[in-house]
A and B are shown apart, each in its own frame.
Chain A
Amino acid sequence: MVGELEFEKPVLELRKKIAELKEITKEADVDLTDEIEKLEVRLERLEKEIYENMKPWDRVQIARHPNRPTTLDYIPLLFTDFIEVHGDRTFGDDAAIVAGIGKFQGLPVTIIGHQRGKDTKENIRRNFGMPHPEGYRKALRIMKQADKFGRPIICFIDTKGAFPGKAAEERGQSEAIARNLFEMAGLKVPVICIVIGEGGSGGALALGVGNHLHMLENSTYSVISPEGAASILWKDASKAKQAAEKMKITAPDLKELNVIDEIIPEVKGGAHKDKDLQAQAIHEVILKSLKELLKLSEQELINQRYEKYKAIGQFDLQNEYITTN
């Protein structure tokens, strides 16, 4: 089966067996109901065991699942009247980021998100969801527009990272990312960021300086991909699995580090198993965030964002250097 993940194989096999038995009961004259019931109990236990004890690497696999819902999958499930807008008005239109306006339960909002492709052809067009500077500049243009009209901004983060390439460097990839971090700090409207897949480094953060930062349960957010970290630390990209364990990149890890606000629970086995149900869970969290943030004034929103990011980071004080004035 396409997209079958290694760690969930026992579950899938058991499920297949139950289906087979059901088929037999229906077609032949043997009654296997008892047998099936027993297996179903076992399946439930197995599912609980496997899906509730997922290792970081398992989550990485789910976050990268080819069928994992993307920004454009969620948009029609969460918003109405969506109109996509294009272009940075300077160089190009980067299909690795989608942006537009629409309504969330009747409230006008601006929506921005990374966008992967669903197949090879679309992936090439969208550069596998890895933006160039013009993508970030489009996002910034649309954020400023939202700022002008007082619309809350909702960002979906889902990228392996900003594209590492010659053209991207020539056009100022670093500047484009930096500019977004800087300008997002000053937005006078609520900004809600949700990591729905992979949150790859600076390329993810460039849509991520928000008042609230949420993560889907099986998404990841990290300074570098596990493969990248393994090759830098141990000169061996194949040690990605160990790197994934060490780097604390899963939603529960980031919650523990006080980097994110809420973990959005996922459908059992991952968002790709039921995107409608998943969208409902995201909907709830957006609603809650909006209700909280819309009560704040423009200045309060800016201050809240300032405090949020000021508070991230850990350090100690060494006694002999403490001076008292």
Chain B
Amino acid sequence: MIKDLFTKPKKKKYATIPSEAAKQDVPEGIMTKCPNCKKIMYSKELTKNLKVCFHCDYHYPMNSQERLASFLDEDSFQEIDRELVSTNPLGFPEYLEKLEKDKEKTNLNEAVVTGIGRVDQHEVAVAVMDSTFRMGSMGSVVGEKITRAIEKADELSVPFIIFTASGGARMQEGVLSLMQMAKTSVALKRFSDNGGLIISIMTHPTTGGVSASFASLGDYNFAEPGALIGFAGRRIIEQTIREELPEDFQTAEFLLEKGQLDAVIARAELKEKIATILDIHQPGGDLVWLEN
């Protein structure tokens, strides 16, 4: 027996193929492999760690539900405008079918979820884009919902916080998509002129028309580590200028160095940092301070 411990086990001469039954022994999704460092983790542990890899700090994309749950105070979220749904204004082939499919898959009505919630007791209007629905692309409904959320923030005099994740404008709605960039920006300008606080948190990926409108218009523009952020896609740029781009091109860290971001914030610190900023921006402290 003890001797067995010290002898190498004999190599099998032929491979064993696990039976179907054995394969089904491990339920689907119990383990997750990190796409960055390839290490394997328990999915439950990963979720507890805000979907950040234990080994390499890779930030997995979060869907809107996960984001709201991790960012807002418990049970503080009240969704608005869930009833807004897309039509097919250009009669684009297969558009409605694709929307239906994503609605089923994601249990969402569109690529953004908006509403009111609290961050460490501070009331905010919040919009969270969801890249699992049509790659987070922006059509009329996404533009309208974000604009209404900004108006809500203005009406309640609370800060507006947006988490962006989008491939850009939604091709199937053509120029109407493009104009959502203007619609959201016009709303942000009015809100800002009224003294509103805008915080944008760019998550992977934030590109195209979304990066070229509300995502970049925060009083504070933050990003999650490793997020891809840019206007034109890497392939398009490489084909246009016929040059190879540096590896970190258009990452959050690259943009920080190029002066485009206020900071790159790890997910674990995000809520606390934003709460501090909200605290610093509480209105009307000057006179009270003077009296004390």
Residue A90 lies at the interface, judged by CB distance under 8 Å to chain B: yes
Residue A92 lies at the interface, judged by CB distance under 8 Å to chain B: yes
Residue A309 lies at the interface, judged by CB distance under 8 Å to chain B: no
Q: Which of A84, A105, A107 has the most CB of B within 10 A?
A: A107
For the complex formed, measure the closest distance between the CB of B98 and the CB atoms of chain A, giving whole angstroms.
36
For the complex formed, measure the closest distance between the CB of A105 and the CB atoms of chain B, giving whole angstroms.
8
A148 vs B195: C-alpha distance when bound (angstroms): 7
Partner of A81, one of B260, B276, B290: B276
Q: Mark A105-143, 1 if CB is under 8 A from B, else 0.
A: 111100000000000000000000000001000100000
Partner of B262, one of A87, A107, A108, A295: A87
Q: Mark B258-285, 1 if CB is under 8 A from A, else 0.
A: 1111110000000001001101111001
Task: Evaluate contact between A92 and B195: CB separation under 8 angstroms.
Answer: no
Task: Evaluate contact between B197 and A101: CB separation under 8 angstroms.
Answer: no
Partner of A88, one of B259, B281, B287: B259
Task: Evaluate contact between A150 and B286: CB separation under 8 angstroms.
Answer: yes
Task: Evaluate contact between B277 and A87: CB separation under 8 angstroms.
Answer: no
B265's nearest neighbour on chain A, judged by CB, is A83
Task: Evaluate contact between A134 and B290: CB separation under 8 angstroms.
Answer: no
Task: Evaluate contact between B259 and A102: CB separation under 8 angstroms.
Answer: no
A150 vs B289: C-alpha distance when bound (angstroms): 14
Residue B95 lies at the interface, judged by CB distance under 8 Å to chain A: no
B259's nearest neighbour on chain A, judged by CB, is A87
For the complex formed, measure the closest distance between the CB of B278 and the CB atoms of chain A, giving whole angstroms.
11
Partner of B259, one of A84, A92, A295: A92
Task: Evaluate contact between B256 and A93: CB separation under 8 angstroms.
Answer: yes
Task: Evaluate contact between B256 and A145: CB separation under 8 angstroms.
Answer: no
Task: Evaluate contact between A85 and B280: CB separation under 8 angstroms.
Answer: no
Of residues 13 to 71 in B, which have CB atoms within 8 Å of A's CB atoms?
Answer: none
Task: Evaluate contact between A149 and B257: CB separation under 8 angstroms.
Answer: no
Contacts of A91 in B (CB 8 A): 258-259
Contacts of A101 in B (CB 8 A): 277, 280
Contacts of B231 in A (CB 8 A): none
Q: Given A85-B262, A87-B261, A291-B290, A107–B256 Cβ distance below 8 Å?
A: no
Task: Evaluate contact between B260 and A85: CB separation under 8 angstroms.
Answer: no
Task: Evaluate contact between A83 and B259: CB separation under 8 angstroms.
Answer: no
Count of A-B contacts with CB under 8 A?
69
Task: Evaluate contact between B281 and A86: CB separation under 8 angstroms.
Answer: no
Partner of B280, one of A81, A88, A105: A81
Contacts of A85 in B (CB 8 A): 220, 262-263
Residue A310 lies at the interface, judged by CB distance under 8 Å to chain B: no
Query: Interface size of A by Cβ–Cβ distance < 8 Å?
Result: 28
Of residues 188 to 217 in B, which have CB atoms within 8 Å of A's CB atoms?
Answer: 192, 195, 197
A106 vs B281: C-alpha distance when bound (angstroms): 12
A88 vs B255: C-alpha distance when bound (angstroms): 11
Task: Evaluate contact between A294 and B290: CB separation under 8 angstroms.
Answer: yes
Contacts of B276 in A (CB 8 A): 81, 83
B220's nearest neighbour on chain A, judged by CB, is A85
Partner of A102, one of B219, B256, B280, B289: B280
Residue A308 lies at the interface, judged by CB distance under 8 Å to chain B: no
Contacts of A288 in B (CB 8 A): none
A144's nearest neighbour on chain B, judged by CB, is B219
Contacts of A108 in B (CB 8 A): 280-282, 285
Task: Evaluate contact between A83 and B273: CB separation under 8 angstroms.
Answer: yes
Task: Evaluate contact between A83 and B260: CB separation under 8 angstroms.
Answer: no
For the complex formed, measure the closest distance between the CB of B120 and the CB atoms of chain A, giving whole angstroms.
13
For the complex formed, measure the closest distance between the CB of A189 and the CB atoms of chain B, giving whole angstroms.
10
Q: Given A86-B256, A295-B290, A103–B280 Cβ distance below 8 Å?
A: yes
Task: Evaluate contact between B285 and A107: CB separation under 8 angstroms.
Answer: yes
A137's nearest neighbour on chain B, judged by CB, is B259
Interface of B with A (CB < 8 Å)? 192, 195, 197, 219-221, 256-263, 273, 276-277, 279-282, 285-287, 289-290, 292
Interchain residue pairs A-B with the least CB separation, the first 8: A87-B259, A85-B262, A92-B259, A107-B289, A108-B280, A88-B259, A93-B259, A81-B276
28 pairs from A and B in contact (CB 8 Å cutoff): A81-B276, A81-B280, A83-B277, A83-B280, A86-B259, A86-B261, A87-B256, A87-B260, A89-B221, A89-B260, A91-B258, A91-B259, A92-B257, A93-B259, A101-B277, A105-B289, A106-B292, A107-B286, A107-B289, A108-B282, A148-B219, A149-B195, A149-B197, A149-B219, A149-B281, A150-B286, A294-B286, A294-B289
Known contacts A107-B285, A149-B197; 14 further A-B pairs (Cβ under 8 A): A81-B280, A83-B273, A87-B256, A90-B259, A92-B259, A93-B257, A101-B277, A106-B285, A108-B281, A108-B282, A138-B259, A291-B290, A294-B287, A294-B289
